[in-house]
């Protein structure tokens, strides 16, 4: 039995919240006010969001480590993603910390992801400090939001110690925090003080045999794979020999060639580190998340948290279109297979399975956004492939009853759109759970809805509410199958022949529905170039040219007026495709197509299916 001592000079804390409640902005301000940056350094906004996709979309995708010093105490801070699709990041990061800062928007209040991250933190008995952020926002209601948070703690079964949480009111953007919601000046000192006073110091005996649990992975082009974890017990030194306990129960003797700790945004090389510290190690080529490094004389692996299972899947397929190989650098099944299996090593909530055919791989994730980020990342790396329509993952219970994943959907819309939203969601098997009116004419709606009912709904929702609605969802367990749902009400406009689209052909097609392309675009037979106004697919010739004659008539040679085409984003393309369609993804283009390109073969297949 080892006696655990407190490391009073260290605090390990994660910042958790719903998406866009200001986590990364708060970390920016904590770094600036702690003196991490020199006076001559130019610091960009949201400095922790280092990825191109993160900066473009304004979201955090991967958790990031940093540290600040306040007095004699080093505070290790981990910024976590706010989207439910990246919940696997949050779950394992909580193992590295002793407490959390729960950020809640002073206007929006508790949202679905607030519930999710708080439930995980309370389940692991982490100490919570609540920060009510954006108190300077018009319409902010900090007092009401604190009551909402208390209700949420009670609903999630928090014990007496957890319910007695401290509250700090802040505006991360303006750089001040206070224990009084009426203050509008100051600095971030109240947050630093709350972390040191309320978050427990890490426990660990530095003189006992080593135990390090790796909860995250990083990669460096020069030093290779880097394991990020927390020293649970003992002291680790550079060039130390340790035993790596693998997830499958096997053991491997390895050497820690380099050892780092976090100082500000940088990894700083150190000779040794003691219990309670968050470290990075290099030199272990095949290290994975959830593995334990132990002293060779005392091999005692630690348990790792069980990550929630994926709920949605797609097929990644080798591109077989007539334009295959034109734009991509990596196009073969081996290229795609290696990249997908490499992704699973660091993305713990994603699964990749091989199928009956060598050119198709089944990829499962937490949601459409989770999978679309992988698709966009691969696309930017030069990969070319096709993907099928997203499908939910069904299960069966002990009695053999079919179960499907459900989502808790929270909608905020102006009151005049409430009827339309309820009607549309009702047709997708949604049940209205709660409805309340907020100040300013907004209505708050909560639904329980099958995950498959939300595929393709977001764009329809924005159209129905004229862009004024906000919707957020979170996985809410499995329930018995709710019945068939009619997903897409309109068909596709399919190209008749390979060629180049022109104004004359498009002019004669645009009355049939909504076009996705303009003139001068290369197309092929079976490619989808628009959404039909009717429920069935129609085949149109967008390459058709006007026959030249010697006859002239007034009005026949007027300039053709084309309606500007609708350009679909990656997510909109994923939502649009039907079961018999594919999305062709290349570094330069997104093309929609039928699985069977030939019109005759499609008709034969339809006849067989009947």
Give 81's contacts (C-beta < 8 A, 6+ positions apart): 19, 59, 60, 61, 62, 63, 87, 89, 90
Cα-Cα-Cα-Cα torsion 208, 90, 76, 50, nearest 10 degrees, comes to 130
The pLDDT assigned to 305 comes to: 67
More confident residue, 21 or 367: 367
187, 255, 577 from 259: Cα distances, Å: 34, 11, 48
pLDDT at position 316:
93
395-480 to CATH, choices 3.30.70.240, 3.40.50.300, 3.50.50.60, 3.10.20.70: 3.30.70.240
pLDDT tens digits for 218-257? 777 777 778 888 888 888 888 888 888 887 778 888 888 8
Residue 580, pLDDT > 80, answer yes
Residue 42: per-residue pLDDT:
44
Residue 527 or residue 203, greater confidence: 527
CATH architecture for the domain at 492-583+590-609: Beta Barrel (2.40)
Residue 87, pLDDT above cutoff 90: no
Average pLDDT for residues 548-565, to the nearest whole number? 69
Given this model, what pLDDT does residue 610 score? 67
Whole-number average pLDDT of the chain: 82
Domain 211-294: what homologous superfamily? Translation factors (2.40.30.10)
Give the β-pairing of 385-387 and 312-317: antiparallel
Please give the distance of CA 493 from its chain centroid, rounded to a whole number.
32
Please give the share of the chain, as a percent, with pLDDT higher than 70: 89
Domain ranges of the chain: 10-198, 211-294, 395-480, 492-583+590-609
Asked if pLDDT for residue 538 goes beyond 60, the answer is yes
Dump pLDDT digits (tens) for 461-471: 888 888 788 88
How close are the terminal C-alpha atoms of the chain, in Å? 70
> Which span out of 22-36, 80-94, 520-534, 538-552 was modeled with the highest average pLDDT?
520-534
CATH architecture of 10-198: 3-Layer(aba) Sandwich (3.40)
Q: Report the range out of 182-186, 317-321, 546-550 with the highest average pLDDT.
A: 317-321
Q: Report DSSP state, residue 204.
A: -
Residue 559 has pLDDT above 80, yes or no: no
> What is the pLDDT at residue 554?
55
């Amino acid at each position: 039995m080892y006696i655990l001592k407190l490391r009073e000079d260290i605090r390990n804390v994660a910042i958790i919240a719903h998406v866009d409640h200001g986590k990364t902005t708060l970390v920016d301000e904590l770094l600036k006010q702690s003196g991490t940056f020199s006076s001559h350094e130019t610091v960009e906004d949201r400095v922790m969001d280092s990825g191109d996709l993160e900066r473009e979309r304004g979201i955090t995708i991967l958790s990031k480590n940093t540290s600040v010093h306040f007095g004699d105490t080093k505070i290790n801070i981990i910024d976590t993603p706010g989207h439910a699709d990246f919940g696997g990041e949050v779950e394992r990061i909580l193992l590295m910390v002793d407490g959390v800062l729960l950020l809640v928007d002073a206007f929006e209040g508790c949202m679905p992801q607030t519930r999710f991250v708080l439930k995980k933190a309370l389940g692991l008995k982490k100490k919570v400090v609540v920060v009510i952020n954006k108190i300077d926002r018009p319409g902010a209601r900090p007092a009401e939001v604190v009551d909402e948070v208390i209700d949420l703690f009670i609903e999630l079964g928090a014990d007496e110690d957890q319910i007695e949480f401290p509250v700090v009111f802040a505006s991360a953007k303006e750089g001040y925090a206070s224990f009084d919601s009426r203050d509008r000046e100051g600095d971030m000192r109240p947050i630093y003080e709350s972390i040191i006073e309320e978050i427990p110091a890490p426990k660990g005996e530095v003189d006992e045999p080593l135990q390090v649990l790796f909860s995250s992975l990083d990669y460096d082009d020069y030093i290779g794979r880097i394991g990020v974890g927390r020293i649970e017990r003992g002291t680790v030194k550079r060039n130390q020999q340790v035993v790596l306990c693998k997830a499958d129960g096997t053991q491997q003797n390895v050497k820690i060639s380099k050892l780092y700790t976090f100082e500000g945004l940088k990894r700083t090389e150190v000779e040794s580190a003691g219990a309670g510290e968050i470290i990075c190690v290099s030199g272990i080529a095949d290290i994975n998340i959830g593995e334990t490094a132990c002293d060779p004389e005392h091999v005692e692996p630690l348990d790792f948290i069980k990550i929630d299972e994926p709920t949605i899947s797609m097929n990644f397929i080798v591109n077989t279109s007539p334009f295959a190989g034109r734009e991509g650098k990596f196009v073969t099944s081996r290229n795609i297979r290696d990249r997908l299996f490499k992704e699973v090593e660091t993305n713990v909530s994603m699964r990749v399975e091989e199928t009956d055919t060598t050119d198709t791989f089944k990829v499962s994730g937490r949601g459409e956004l989770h999978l679309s980020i992988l698709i966009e990342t691969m696309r930017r790396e030069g990969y070319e492939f096709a993907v099928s329509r997203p499908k939910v993952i069904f299960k069966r219970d002990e009695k053999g009853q079919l179960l499907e994943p459900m989502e808790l959907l929270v909608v905020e819309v102006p009151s005049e759109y409430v009827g339309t939203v309820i009607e549309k969601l009702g047709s997708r098997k949604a049940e209205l759970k709660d409805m309340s009116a907020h100040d300013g004419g907004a209505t708050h709606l909560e639904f329980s809805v099958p995950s498959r009912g939300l595929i393709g709904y977001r764009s329809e929702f924005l159209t129905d509410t004229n862009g004024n609605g906000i919707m957020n969802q979170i996985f809410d367990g499995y329930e018995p199958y709710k019945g068939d749902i009619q997903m897409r009400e309109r068909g596709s406009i399919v190209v008749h022949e390979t060629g180049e689209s022109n104004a004359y052909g498009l002019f004669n097609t645009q009355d049939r529905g909504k076009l996705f392309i303009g003139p001068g675009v290369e197309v092929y037979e079976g490619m989808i170039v628009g959404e039909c106004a009717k429920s069935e697919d129609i085949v149109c010739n967008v390459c058709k040219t006007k026959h030249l004659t010697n006859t002239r008539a007034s009005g026949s040679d007027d300039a053709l007026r084309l309606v500007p085409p609708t350009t679909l984003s990656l997510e909109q393309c994923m939502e649009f495709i039907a079961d018999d369609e594919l999305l062709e993804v290349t570094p330069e283009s997104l093309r929609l197509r039928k699985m069977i390109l030939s019109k005759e073969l499609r008709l034969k297949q339809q006849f067989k299916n009947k």
